[in-house]
Amino acid sequence: MPVRMRTALVPSATLPLAACAGRQSALDPQGLQSDQILRTFFIFLIVAAVVWIAVVIALCVGMLRQKRAADQPLALHRSFERTSGRIVFVLGLATLVIVLGLSIVSYAGQRTVFAKDENALTLKIIGHQWWWEVRYEDGSPDKNFVTANEIRIPTGRPVKVELESADVIHSFWVPSLTGKMDLITGQKNELQFTAKNAGTYRGQCAEFCGHQHAHMAFAVLALSPDEFDRWRDHENQGASSPTDPLGKQGEQLFRARGCALCHTIRGTLAGGQLGPDLTHVGSRTTVAAGTLPMSPATLAAWIADPQHIKPGNFMPRMPLQSDELIAILHYLEQLK
Amino acid sequence: MVAEQRELRDDALNGLQLSTRLENIWRTPSGFFGALASVDHKVVGRRYIVTAFAFLLLGGLLAVLMRVQLAGPENTFLSADKYNQIFTMHGSTMMFLFAVPVMEAFAVYLVPLMVGTRNIAFPRLNAFSYWMFLFGGCFLWISFMLNVGPDVGWFAYVPLSSLQYTPTKRPDVWAQMITFTEVAALAVAVEIVVTVFKQRAPGMTLDRIPLFVWAMLVTSFLVMFAMPSIMVASTSLILDRLVNTRFYDSSSGGHPLLWQHLFWFFGHPEVYIIFIPGTGMVSAILATFTRRPVVGYPVVILSLIATGFLSFGLWVHHMFVTGLPQLGAGLFTASSMLIAVPSGLQIFCWLATLWDGRPVYRTPLLFVIGFIVIFVIGGLSGVMVASVPIDTQVHDTYFVVAHFHYVLIGGAVFPLIGAVYYWFPKIAGRMLSERLGFWHFWLAFVGFNVAFFPMHILGLIGMPRRVYTYTADMDWAHLNLLSSAGAAIFALSFALLLVNVIYSLRSGPLAGDNPWDASTLEWATTSPPPPQNFDRIPIVKHRDPLWFDNESLPVVAGLSVERREVLLTSLAEAEPQIREASPDPSIWPLLTAIATTVFFIGSIFTPWAVLWGTPPMAVALIGWFWPTGSKEDEE
């Protein structure tokens, strides 16, 4: 665990910030990396605050001292010029020492944050306008599966995300866990992080990626290792076929009304590749890439008119009768 | 015999007779077409300043619209499409149509006066530069009014700005606006460098050049080295979009990061192109209002030059999250922080100046004090974002928005507003109201901090930049509302400036030559200065000539009073070298600018514009440079 060894720079740095807790806050770190970044940040913040206060005090004292005569601007005191020159030189030197010191602090923090672990759980995340494709590619091929807009990870184990883009540049950012990394067209980036505590953390695209950049979020659910293994085994399986008539009608309408042209539901004939995989959509926590919380009402509203909720996104509004909408909704909801 | 036949020189005339004669040969021709033909640096400078402030007003209105939209969660005041256009227009307008041009505008007006010459070097190029800037700005804004405003950010990252992902004309408008403004900026940079190097008054050795002029000289060199990078970038973007070149297409061997390198190799020095003139203004104002020269003149100059060099070595800190090698990124942390040293040295010199001086608290000095308080915060948050690990959290969040507004508004706009109050009497001949100035300062200072300080916290609690809305459960609403309230106060403060300018232009008290008892040469002539600037070129014997020779300045004589002539001096020692003709007014720079505009705008629609657009430009240039057989040529 090389990550843990360098974290003692500012002990308990997070204590005074309980008020800043949040699902998407760099001030409420829940990961080893975000913890380290906050420590580095506080060192910088303290230095900055001291420097700023010193400058403002010097400014105020300078304004209050009024010694010279105003009418003889060129009558300079040689002693003042010499002394002030020396003081400026010393302060310049001090600035140099401070920034070199901070560079070293920064680099130490950087080494910790970007430390790599060979045994990390590997995910591939592909950015799309405006949603996230998540591929679990760890271990044997029969354990690989695809999901979208939600990442579940085990606590305490390093996670490596490989970042790629299907279109424009996006940026993967879960401030509670670590800093961001861009998803760049034609380039493979990677980022490693470890969640300390179980919980649900929100992430959001941080590089402007066009029309609906504001609505490109995702959820990270950090689970206990056992819970994670159970979830992964379940997620790896295809969708279970509906047993009730309404569900069966929904499954059929999902194909008949064009949904399957873009969406895949593993274990069924729906195999579209343009939109998010919906195999276990019923168990996700959000709708439309973190735009709305998951509930029957929000999912229905989304299917009925995606262009109202997220104008300009690439999911067209499909003409559906209300009974058809109810059937499809019912079908999707049981895809747990 | 030659001596008897020679033309009339200014040593043969005196007083009113001399002034009238010089005014007649240097004045801008009357009438509408005369005004269009003007090559007087003061006329062009004034137009430049007014136009840049008009763009400030427009860019500021966009900022207010954005703050209305973000004041509450899930606001529907602006659509995503409008918001994306507006934040792109705000950034592009403020950077390319306000911040850089306004600094150059002040230089165009002031540098010739401050170095004691009669006109800027290459006055027709200067007129051409203004027209290009005006047409480029109008092109962008008219496009925006027609709903073709760029919507890919002021940084226009590929591949979002490529034809594939933005198939409209919007990114082309942005990219070609860059070409317009960069042509304008490069022209001014060349003029400033030549004016400072060759047209200084005799005796103004390198170590007697006013600090503002030094700042503009360094800025001009930055412009010349930084701007070509963005012109290459934007032109190759247009080529990618128009004729299917593949500079940025990763599937054909190009790379999106090439764009980012080119953009930020310009984009970071750009910050100093805006900030360094601000420091020059601060130095000028501080000296006058603390009643002593700035402490450490050579230190300040060396700091400016060091800042100029260092500013080219830290562009990568805009790219820390693009997956660059860690050690390389770490080195750019150090190089970025290093720029705190020259910036710090300047601050220390200014503090020492205040410490020893006897401050006279007029509005310009208030803005300089506000500058120190605000800019130091921006500089220190800059040290934070220079750190790779910290940057991975705050990059592209509101923390960075707060940071660069503290740097750019604190570091450049506050000194600029101080400069407006300081030099307005020289330019307009009348004083601005001190009472309104006092209110302006406090509203601006409080409004600015209320608007932008909360953004630091917003960024840390997860709010990314460039989002047109956010949900209510994100806990960002209160701070956003506070920030919007501050923005309203800040906007109000600029309304006060507008009122002050309009009121004072009519009924402000007359300024006189040197209302502040300042030390530099622009205060040695009338307010506003006559077309010839000075009846006789002053001789400079001290760094603060008007404090040193406060009764009457020594002058040189011998320039023609029959045609436009300036005195050229040597580069280091400013010893008189030669009398040089200065061009007469001409309509050709305007016609050339119109031809260039047609060519530029045409070429975002069809590559053939390069073919049919060139002959009119050639004709205009031939007209511009047609030999007129001046006396100088005959001799």
Beta-carbon contacts of B506 under 8 Å, excluding residues fewer than 6 positions away, are none
φ and ψ at residue A120, rounded to 5 degrees:
-70, 150
Cβ–Cβ of A113/B392 closer than 8 Å? yes
Instruction: Say which of B344, B376, B395 has its CB closest to residue A92.
Output: B344
Mean pLDDT of A261-271: 92
Residue A67 pLDDT more than 80?
no
Instruction: Say which of B333, B373, B547 has its CB closest to residue A73.
Output: B547
Cβ–Cβ of A175/B393 closer than 8 Å? yes
- Tell me the C-alpha to C-alpha distance, in Å, between residue B398 and each of A10, B65, B474, B480: 25, 17, 14, 10
Mean pLDDT of A299-324: 93
- Tell me the C-alpha to C-alpha distance, in Å, between residue A305 and each of A149, A214, A298, A302, A315: 19, 18, 11, 5, 9
**pLDDT on residue A12:** 40
**B 105-144 residues with CB < 8 A to A:** none
What is the torsional sign of CA B271, B572, B188, B211?
positive
User: Chain B contact for A57, CB < 8 A?
Assistant: no
Instruction: Say which of A92, A95, A214 has its CB closest to residue B467.
Output: A214
- Rounded (10°) angle between helices B588-602 and B123-145: 40
Closest Cα of chain B to A173: distance in Å?
Answer: 8
The Cα–Cα gap between B398 and B403 comes to: 8
Residue A2 pLDDT more than 90?
no
- Partnered with residue A163 across adjacent β-strands are A125, A189
Among B103, B87, B96, B98, which residue's Cα sits nearest to residue B55?
Answer: B98
**A 299-328 residues with CB < 8 A to B:** 311-312
Residue A7 pLDDT more than 60?
no
Q: Taking CB atoms and an 8 Å cutoff, what residues of chain A touch B349?
A: 88
**pLDDT on residue B13:** 81
Cβ–Cβ of A41/B390 closer than 8 Å? yes
- Tell me the C-alpha to C-alpha distance, in Å, between residue B386 and each of A51, B25, B303, B463: 17, 54, 20, 19
**pLDDT on residue A14:** 41
Q: Are strands A150-154 and A217-223 parallel, antiparallel or unpaired?
A: parallel
Cβ–Cβ of A213/B159 closer than 8 Å? no
**B 435-474 residues with CB < 8 A to A:** 457, 460-462, 464-471, 474
**pLDDT on residue B551:** 75
**A 161-180 residues with CB < 8 A to B:** 163, 167-169, 171, 173, 175, 178-180
User: Chain B contact for A83, CB < 8 A?
Assistant: no
Instruction: Say which of A26, A71, A208 has its CB closest to residue B393.
Output: A26
- Tell me the C-alpha to C-alpha distance, in Å, between residue B622 and each of B190, B435, B616, B626, B627: 21, 53, 10, 6, 9
**pLDDT on residue A329:** 95
Residue A9 is which amino acid?
L
Instruction: Say which of B152, B372, B467 has its CB closest to residue A59.
Output: B372
ipTM of the complex: 0.93
Cβ–Cβ of B299/A70 closer than 8 Å? no
- Tell me the C-alpha to C-alpha distance, in Å, between residue B241 and each of B147, B234, B237: 19, 11, 6
Contact B565, B10 (CB under 8 A): no
The Cα–Cα gap between A12 and B524 comes to: 63
Closest Cα of chain A to B229: distance in Å?
Answer: 22
Beta-carbon contacts of B20 under 8 Å, excluding residues fewer than 6 positions away, are none
Instruction: Label residue A187 left, alpha or beta by phi (over 0 means left) and psi (-120 to 50 means alpha).
Output: beta
- Tell me the C-alpha to C-alpha distance, in Å, between residue B506 and each of B426, B435, B588: 15, 16, 34
The Cα–Cα gap between B376 and B358 comes to: 23
Q: What are the pLDDT digits (tens) for B227-253?
A: 999 999 999 999 999 999 999 999 999
Torsion of the alpha carbons at A268, A272, A276 and A281, rounded to the nearest 10: -20
Closest Cα of chain B to A284: distance in Å?
Answer: 18
User: Could you tell me the mean pLDDT of each successive run of 10 residues in chain B, 635 residues long?
Assistant: 61 86 92 94 97 97 97 95 96 97 97 96 97 97 96 94 94 95 96 97 96 98 96 94 93 93 95 96 96 95 96 94 92 94 96 92 96 96 96 97 96 97 97 96 97 97 95 92 97 96 95 94 95 94 90 86 93 93 94 97 94 95 84 52
Residue A168 pLDDT more than 50?
yes
Q: Which of B292, B360, B392, B478 to mutate to test the interface with A (most CBs of A within 10 A)?
A: B392
**pLDDT on residue A18:** 42
Q: DSSP code of B357? A: S
* Element housing A270 (H / E): none
Q: What are the pLDDT digits (tens) for B501-534?
A: 999 999 999 999 999 999 999 999 999 999 999 9
Contact A98, A106 (CB under 8 A): no
Scanning every residue of chain A, which has its alpha carbon at the shortest distance from the alpha carbon of B333? A103
**pLDDT on residue B455:** 97
Q: Which of A83, A104, A168 to mutate to test the interface with B (most CBs of B within 10 A)?
A: A168
Among B586, B528, B534, B527, which residue's Cα sits nearest to residue B28?
Answer: B586
**pLDDT on residue B446:** 98
Cβ–Cβ of A187/B250 closer than 8 Å? yes
Q: Tell me what the pLDDT averaged over chain B comes to.
A: 94
The Cα–Cα gap between B34 and A198 comes to: 76
Contact B353, B287 (CB under 8 A): yes
Q: DSSP code of A183? A: E
Mean pLDDT of A297-318: 93
